[in-house]
Structure 1
Amino acid sequence: MRLLHTSDWHLGRSFHREDMLGAQARFVDHLVETVRAESVDAVLVSGDLYDRALPPVDAVALCDDALKRLAAEKVQVVVISGNHDSAQRLGFGSGLMDAAGVHLRADPQRVGEPVLLADGTAVYGIPYLEPEVVRTRWDLPERGHTAALTEAMRRVRDDLKNRDAPRSVVLAHAFVTGGEASDSERDISVGGVASVPMSVFDGVDYVALGHLHGRQRMSETVRYSGSPLAYSFSEEHQVKGAWLVDLQDKAHAEFVEAPVPRRAARIKGRLDGLLTEERYAAYEDHWLQVTLTDDDRPAGAMDRLRKRFPHTLALAFEPESATADDRSRTERIRDRSDLEIAYDFVKEVRGAPADEAERDLLHEAFESCRQAEAAR
């Protein structure tokens, strides 16, 4: 049984205002070609098919085209909703699509119902679980992602006990402890805790993870495929693609690289050096984030840079002589939750930190927004 594990397509997403739909369409072409060339039996898409709950029309059309083309190849397709997707919208018509071999799993109540492949392999789709939503629905004793996924996996194991399946596979959209994040994933922390231990997924033959945008091997049987395209400059060194997984006595996986429309990179230096030095010639066709270190901000810097580097997308200034924190904004907020960033914003614009009542109000607002989005 041969599987192709992919995730985090984020259809409809742009990259610093650059339209990525054409590049996403080329990835779909590559995906279908890989299915055909490698005799793939099932395609697993581990969440975040779209970039937002209400995707643009062109993104929906591309998703429709991708699923129809995969179904035409006579492969089984299993898709789960991610934290960027609207579970209700993505799951619409799932009962009808099952008959075509496209299995959309967006309802937490169905986590214990597998998709059975031709050889009897049981594939369980665990959609992104909003902890507060399933805590009430499942009457969980604790809050958080670990409690939610532990219960989901209990239901998976209970089903496996009563099923003579030769192998078992789980799709999940989560942040597993030890995973390496990039700047383009949306924070999913609850009470400051976003990650779940890998041991939650013990007992199955392969775990196809989504959410983190860099390919990662957490263990031989637990892997992230990463996103097929770079969606932040922090992904400049990542190799994009999908895992081709053979399920035999044990899972064996090799990585299939996806086409890259244009490489992303970050360069830093004084403007004159960037415009004249030969060592920067290799970046002339890249999407670039440029940080200028001139003591004085050069006039017309972006226009001058784009004469040599026409695909410069982001520009920052960090003078070499500055004594303040010289980290970029991205680096300063990398390990901070949305709530902590909001606290910092209040302090910056008002000159005084939020008091306890204001902090409680901000926390309530974030939780309300999170639950409202999950319920869409």
Structure 2
Amino acid sequence: MRFLHTSDWHLGRSLHRVSMLEAQAAFLDHLVATARAREVDAVLVAGDVYDRAVPPLAAVELFDRALHRLADAGVPTVMISGNHDSARRLGVGAGLIERAGIHLRTDPAGCATPVVLADAHGDVACYGLPYLEPVLVKDDFRVDKARHETVLAAAMEQVRADLAARPTSTRSVVLAHAFVGGGKASDSERDITVGGVAAVPAETFHGVDYVALGHLHGCQTITGRVRYSGSPLAYSFSEATHRKTTWLVELDAEGSVTAERIDCPVPRPLARLSGRLAELLEDPAHERHEDAFVEATLTDPVRPAEPMARLAARFPHVLSIVFAPERDPQDSAVSYAQRMRGRSDVEIAEDFVTHVRGGTGPDEDERTVLRAAFDEVRIAGAEAAG
């Protein structure tokens, strides 16, 4: 059986205030065309269909057109909600839509109810695990600790129990939206840390033939059976080096996996340039970036006048300027943005406590309080989004 694995469309998202709707429409055209040309048996969408819980109307219309086209092509689609989606909103009308071959899995209670597809070799059970916010679902899964690992492990126990009751020849696929250990993050993903822990081990998904992951924006292979498709478009300059693809996955009669990367259309490349303003404006090596979206890091010791306008004369699609003035090697000072880059909200708060105390950081009890406070804020946001 042949699947096309994708995720993290983030419909409605922009890149530094530049609308990506046209590029997202081009990707969805590519997705439908690929599904037809490669004769896939199903499309797997592993969450974050939208960029926010209440998406703009244009994004909803784009999503609606994509579903109609997949249904018209006769390609079954299995789709889960991600941490950016409102599960309830995305799941509205799921029962009716299912009649057209579009299977929305947004309710945690349905984790062990698969979409069963069939080919010449028998059945393939596709289980959709929507993003499971630990605090909101721990009681549903009867676990003591509100951790990603515990709720996903409980969901997978239900999956394995259902699979065990099926014929032994049944092959299996799981869709999940999570941060799995071994994955490499970018600046684009929303922090899902709970209690200081975000990642779950890949072993959580043992016992199934293929795991189609969403959440991380870089296409990557955790194991031969556990893969991220990544986002189809770059949503931050940290993704400038990503090769944006979908996975074309084949399950043979025994459940063995082969996978091929299918390149997504690139509306405009991203480039991260660094140097003094005069160098960026004059260096012929940068000619190839003149049509790219550009993030320029200026290293001039003194901030130059009108840098954005001057850069735009050569790079009309420059979107971002970062100032990182050259410093004396003896000077250990770095910018606030540099110090914060790659750190979670909790780590930033802990650094602040250390700063105001003159170098004494929070103890373990205080760290627990800080983590709980950030968890409560995130949960309140999730509940408000519905």
TM-score of the alignment, normalized to the shorter chain, above 0.5: yes
Shift in Å, 1:317: 1.2
Q: Distance in 2 between matches of 1:31 and 1:77?
A: 12
Matched, 1:251 2:257: yes
Matched, 1:216 2:220: yes
Matched, 1:95 2:95: yes
1:124 to 127, 139, 152: 127
Shift in Å, 1:232: 0.9
Amino acid at match of 1:305: L
The 8 Å contact of residues 354 and 362 in structure 2, kept in 1 or not, is answered as: no
Amino acid at match of 1:300: E
Shift in Å, 1:365: 4.2
The 8 Å contact of residues 267 and 290 in structure 1, kept in 2 or not, is answered as: yes
**Residues 190-205 of structure 1: pairs in structure 2 closer than 5 A:** 190-205=194-209
**344 and 56 in structure 1: CA distance in 2 versus 1, 3 angstrom threshold:** farther
Which string of whole-angstrom CA distances, capped at 9 and with x for unpartnered residues, describes residues 298-355 of structure 1?
10111000000111111011111252444672x5334422233345567879999998
Q: Distance in 2 between matches of 1:308 and 1:270?
A: 14
The 8 Å contact of residues 192 and 337 in structure 1, kept in 2 or not, is answered as: no
**364 and 149 in structure 1: CA distance in 2 versus 1, 3 angstrom threshold:** closer
Q: Distance in 2 between matches of 1:109 and 1:87?
A: 12
Matched, 1:372 2:375: no
Match of 1:52 in 2: 52
Q: Distance in 2 between matches of 1:179 and 1:299?
A: 41
Unaligned segments of structure 1, at least 5 residues: none
**Residues 72-83 of structure 1: pairs in structure 2 closer than 5 A:** 72-83=72-83
Amino acid at match of 1:214: G
**328 and 278 in structure 1: CA distance in 2 versus 1, 3 angstrom threshold:** farther
The 8 Å contact of residues 53 and 373 in structure 1, kept in 2 or not, is answered as: no
Matched, 1:340 2:347: yes
Matched, 1:316 2:319: no
Q: Distance in 2 between matches of 1:258 and 1:3?
A: 16
The 8 Å contact of residues 118 and 124 in structure 2, kept in 1 or not, is answered as: yes
**220 and 362 in structure 1: CA distance in 2 versus 1, 3 angstrom threshold:** closer
Matched, 1:226 2:202: no
Query: Aligned residues: percent identity?
Result: 57
* RMSD (CA atoms): 2.2
Matched, 1:166 2:170: yes
The 8 Å contact of residues 8 and 230 in structure 2, kept in 1 or not, is answered as: yes
Amino acid at match of 1:109: A
Amino acid at match of 2:126: V
The 8 Å contact of residues 291 and 318 in structure 1, kept in 2 or not, is answered as: yes
The 8 Å contact of residues 86 and 373 in structure 1, kept in 2 or not, is answered as: no
**125 and 305 in structure 1: CA distance in 2 versus 1, 3 angstrom threshold:** same
Matched, 1:206 2:214: no
Amino acid at match of 2:113: E
Shift in Å, 1:265: 1.4
Match of 1:141 in 2: 144
Q: Name the SS of the counterpart of 1:69 in structure 2.
A: helix
1:152 to 129, 132, 155: 155
**279 and 103 in structure 1: CA distance in 2 versus 1, 3 angstrom threshold:** same
Match of 1:302 in 2: 308
The 8 Å contact of residues 50 and 59 in structure 2, kept in 1 or not, is answered as: yes
TM-score normalised to the size of structure 1?
Answer: 0.94
The 8 Å contact of residues 195 and 372 in structure 2, kept in 1 or not, is answered as: no
Q: Name the SS of the counterpart of 1:40 in structure 2.
A: coil
Shift in Å, 1:96: 1.2
Shift in Å, 1:95: 1.2
**351 and 23 in structure 1: CA distance in 2 versus 1, 3 angstrom threshold:** farther
Q: Distance in 2 between matches of 1:252 and 1:71?
A: 26
Q: Name the SS of the counterpart of 2:193 in structure 1.
A: coil
TM-score normalised to the size of structure 2?
Answer: 0.92
Once the two structures are overlaid, the 10-residue window that deviates more, 157-166 or 106-115, is 157-166
Match of 2:240 in 1: 236
The count of residues paired between Structure 1 and Structure 2 equals: 375
Once the two structures are overlaid, the 10-residue window that deviates more, 301-310 or 355-364, is 355-364
Q: Distance in 1 between matches of 2:7 and 2:35?
A: 15
Shift in Å, 1:136: 2.1
Which string of whole-angstrom CA distances, capped at 9 and with x for unpartnered residues, describes residues 255-274 of structure 1?
00000000111110011111
Amino acid at match of 1:93: G
**111 and 312 in structure 1: CA distance in 2 versus 1, 3 angstrom threshold:** same
Shift in Å, 1:367: 2.3
Amino acid at match of 1:113: T
The 8 Å contact of residues 268 and 291 in structure 1, kept in 2 or not, is answered as: yes
Q: Name the SS of the counterpart of 1:95 in structure 2.
A: helix
Q: Distance in 2 between matches of 1:192 and 1:358?
A: 13
